[in-house]
Amino acid sequence: MSYRVFFALTSAVALSACGLNSVPTAEENAKARWADVQNNYQRRADLIPNLVATVKAAGAQEKSILVEVTQARASASQVKISGADLTDPAKVAAYEQAQSGVTLSLQRLQEAYPELKSQGNYTTLMSQLEGTENRIVIARKDYNDAVQAYNTRIRTFPDAIGAKVFYGAKPMVPFQATTPGAETAPTVNFGNAS
């Protein structure tokens, strides 16, 4: 009788080192880092209407790039990803592609209005945008590190036991820097088949 209690207690202690706690902890950590990534992309999306308005208010010639930026923002905001989707490479890739469409269009907007560089509001928004892009890079790196830690944990002994037996844990998908060839793509496909 008391042997059984003893065995139950010792195996509970021993099992706790087999990924019972560390696997979900690592998973939650990766999900939290993903939330940071999304928040920073959201922050960028929030800046875009202001930016477009500022360009128009500055009396600059209206160019098609303004429409493109707005469209890229709109289609990117429709691609949402939850923590549970992070094991699905296709969903992560779709999100990444939508956001890099925004990145590209913003770069082209900047190139399209060199004359606005020293204009007060525009400079302010551009430095906010630049700061946001930096935060995105950091958040993405932190997420990737967390994913790597999680993936390593669920695949290596001893945590792999708990990960497989108790959680059926699947590896998460790291966030690629850019879609292959995205930097060289001259036009952006907004996914609306136009």
Contacting residues for 188 by C-beta, under 8 A, at least 6 apart: 68, 72, 101, 104, 105
- Compute the least distance from the CB of residue 157 to another protein, in Å: 8
Q: Token pair for residue 23?
A: 């696997």
Judged by DSSP in three states, 144 sits in helix
Assess 14 for contact with another protein (CB under 8 A).
yes
Would you say 19 or 174 has its CB closer to another protein? 19
Assess 158 for contact with another protein (CB under 8 A).
yes
Would you say 18 or 55 has its CB closer to another protein? 18
Give the one residue of 123, 155, 165, 189 binding another protein; rule: CB under 8 A: 123
Assess 138 for contact with another protein (CB under 8 A).
yes
**With CB under 8 A as the contact rule, which of the stretches 50-58, 79-87, 129-137, 180-188 interacts with another protein?**
129-137
Cα–Cα dist 131/137, whole Å: 10
Count of positions (residues) in the chain? 194
